[in-house]
Structure 1
Amino acid sequence: MERLSLEMIAQEVGEASGIGELRDFRDRIHEAFQRHLLFSYPFEWNHDVNAMHDAIIRRVIRLALGEMEAEGFGRPPVAYGFLLFGSGGRAEQTLWSDQDNGLVYADSGDEGIRTASAAYFAELANKVSAGLMGAGYPPCSGNVICTNDMWRKPLSAYKDMLRHWLSEPDWEHVRYLLIAADVRVIEGDESLGQALKDPLYDCVKSHPAMLEHLLQNTLHHKISLGVFGQLIRERYGEDAGGVDIKYGAYIPIVNGIRLLAIEAEIRESSTVERIRRLVEKGVVEEEIGSDWLEALSIALKLRSLTPYQVEDGQYSTRGKLKPELLTKERINELKLCLRIGSDLQKYVKKSVLKEMEKG
């Protein structure tokens, strides 16, 4: 897809007067993106897809804000940031990603403003989430969504929540901590999103032992490569004979890079930027960083080749690459990605254990 088309995407999305127009546009642009997938450089294609998602999500938020004013709720009573987590936070969404989002807003010493803020942003969250569903984005299956008050609160409450998870780092709390590490503000005050991460980075810096808890979760998903170098394929169901690209290739890679970034006090949420910063800071050699970028590039491309479905108007995918798409060339490409991913997981484990010994 030509780079200039991003201007046309921004213009058409920006002129949409309602959710129906955004959905029609999204359906049309999907087809164009899919036609260009095999002829594009994966990182450029991924950048353009996520620029499209960002434009649509921002337009949904702005339409919701307009509705709030029209209905007498007025403008936001305090500064806020609309948050993306998961692949949205990393700017790595596929064409059919779901809603992984939240909302943070500024604290106030005035009780009246605190009460008004809670009511205002609860209503805004309902409108945004409904708008995103209308545009084809299903709610997060794990309920990481702005309509859940766990993921919609003032900054101080977010920080208290992270400190609680850090004080009791069981499996679920660590999972939430790593979700928070990928946060990105898509609309509003970016500083609120960055400040939200402070408890995690401060804790890891002062208590390196926390890395052990993060490591266990990070290495939970194994690379889909057997001990003899063979692909580990799905054995049953609709995807029998295929390969789980999301959890067998993509997730292990992004999880490993994320933990190295946390360890190195790198706050970028994009996996590409995390790798580049790790190289810039001298944490890893340039050759290793290049290998990780190559593996990520392959994982992003193959993940976008997995089939999707539209159910109840929502885009979704199982993240499995069907056997008929596993050509000899793709199998070789995937095995390269998985070998690098396997080496990455070993590197992460070694790096964390070394840092803990120093701490």
Structure 2
Amino acid sequence: MSLFLAVKNDDILNRRGTADFLEGIRRDLFRRLRSLPPGDECRLLTGITQSLGAELAFEEAFDQAFPRLLAETETATDVNGLAELQRQLTEKAADYFHQRGSVPAFDILCTTLTDYLTRGALRLAFRWMEEHGPAAPAVAWAWLALGALGRGEAGLSGDADFAVIHDGESPEETSFFVGLAGRTAGILERLGLTSPGGVTPVGAAWRGSMADWRKRITSRVTEGDGGLGWLIGLADLRCVAGDSTLAASMNNLVRSMLAFHGDQFRETARHISMMPSGFDFFGRFRTERIGESRGMFNLGYYGISPLVANVRVLAVHAEIPETGTIERIRALLREGHMDVELAERLLRACHSFGRKRGGMGGEASGAYVDTAGLAEQEEDELKAGIEAVGNLQRLVYTTIAGQG
């Protein structure tokens, strides 16, 4: 999957990054051909053809196996069946990342398999509720993903944040969704899909009717400390199962509340734009001084988190509906809120940071880098990424925090 900026109709062969890549291959190939003795040209071209054939065979085998396993989650009859499919799916995703190293592809694979497993868990929970009661009410509902999973940037660590919204408000309807949330969460826990931060509809704070959510958000905004970081985080909400229209209403509620509290939003944006730099006073990487990660660079804290947070707040300000970081960057560029140079640098940072994140399980919180062991190119790439994040923070400050 090409990371870089797409042209109209998103034809991969016309993408800027792809075109540069293919031109580089062509130049290098013909340079090598000119230096070969007679007869070796054919052997080189044959070897290239065979290598390309092997790569195409890998893609074709993957394109058959992965969708087949996903489809089987839709007919799994118990948790053990889902768990076995999860094992096979995660192995396929990890193998693909090892073979290709594509961060966008890895994110899509991990998010897709987690979505399918979640829907499988919901089906099992609904079936149990039908057999043991209470019966499902005839009201709309939506199971929502938040955080990295909501952005479509899930890893293989199993971290998954969820919330539930439903139309019904009667005691019987509320009771059903309490039971559904608990039953589904239990199945997800057996699959290793849990929320370390407690963002789960088992807790009353993460489930309710639209009226409940409106009261909850309004109360926290008016009675809180003024910071809206938690509300801006809800802009990552994505519908995994249920009624997409109801999910869209929830997203509209979040966006309207952020727009209504403009001063608090700008103040929160200012704090986000001033997240700590990954460089010290002398321009060196900031490394941990104590603990198990002593001497390591916290890529999650100084790179991934500020990149995600600043892109998110800029996208919310620009009323961009996308939830994924890469999609948000492309939309910001497309709509004139970011220039081409910064967009390219941020996309490269997404790839650089994501490659390291993917190799460590996929979660930003555990992404520590031994900068002393980096090759020169890797070090330059990491520095360029951290510098791009700094430029992004300055853009957020001047665009949002500096207003009014």
Report the TM-score, using the length of structure 1 for normalisation. 0.86
Is it true that 1:119 corresponds to 2:167 in the alignment? no
**CA deviation after TM superposition for structure 1 residue 300, in Å:** 1.7
When residues 30 and 324 of structure 1 are mapped into structure 2, their CA distance, relative to the original with a 3 A threshold, is farther
Greater than 6 Å deviation, 4+ residue runs: none
Contact 1:165 1:174 in 2 (8 A): no
Asked if structure 2 preserves the Cα contact closer than 8 Å seen for 1:249 and 1:337, the reply is yes
SS in 1 for 2:240: strand
Distance 1:336 1:290 in 2: 11
1:226-255 superposed Cα distances (whole Å, 9 cap, x missing partner): 333322222222222322222221111010
* Cα pair distance change 1:256/1:316, threshold 3 Å: closer
Distance 1:289 1:333, change over 3 A: same
**Contact (CA 8 Å) 1:103, 1:146: kept in 2 or not?**
yes
Match of 2:177, as an amino acid?
A: F
- How far apart in 1 are the matches of 2:104 and 2:304? 14
Do 1:6 and 1:51's aligned partners in 2 also have CA atoms closer than 8 Å?
A: no
SS at match of 2:287: coil
Bigger relative contact order, structure 1 or 2, given CA contacts below 8 A and separation 6+?
A: 1
- Give the 3-state SS of the residue equivalent to 1:186 in structure 2: strand
Structure having the higher Rg? 2
| Distance across 1 between alignment mates of 2:305 and 2:137 | 36
- Contact 2:345–2:388 under 8 Å retained in 1: yes
2:218 match = 163
Q: Secondary structure at the match of 1:257?
A: helix
**Paired position in structure 1 for 2:382:** 334
Larger displacement relative to structure 2 (322-331 or 175-184): 322-331
Would you say the 8 A contact 1:9–1:52 is kept in 2? no
Q: 2:81 aligns with which of 2, 17, 21?
A: 21
Structure-2 separation of matches of 1:220 and 1:132: 37
Q: Could you tell me which residue of structure 1 aligns to residue 276 of structure 2?
A: 222
Look up the equivalent residue of 2:386 and give its one-letter code.
L
Report the alpha carbon displacement of residue 323 of structure 1 after superposing the two structures with TM.
6.0
Match in the other structure for 2:119: 58
Offset at residue 80 of structure 1 (A): 0.3
Identify which of 137, 141, 150 aligns with 2:205.
Answer: 150
Q: How many percent of aligned residue pairs carry the same amino acid?
A: 23
Q: Given the superposition, is the C-alpha separation of residues 60 and 316 from structure 1 closer, same or farther in structure 2, using an over 3 Å criterion?
A: farther
Give distance in 1, aligned partners of 2:246 and 2:264. 24
Deviation at 1:135, TM superposition (A): 0.4
RMSD: 2.5
Which one of 321, 332, 335 corresponds to residue 278 of structure 1?
332
User: Structure 2: 5+ residue runs without aligned partners?
Assistant: 1-57
What are the ranges of 5 or more consecutive residues in structure 1 without an aligned counterpart? 109-113, 309-314
Q: Is the 8 A contact 1:81 1:193 kept in 2?
A: yes
More helix by share: 2
Hey, what's the Cα distance between the residues in 1 that align with 2:312 and 2:155?
19
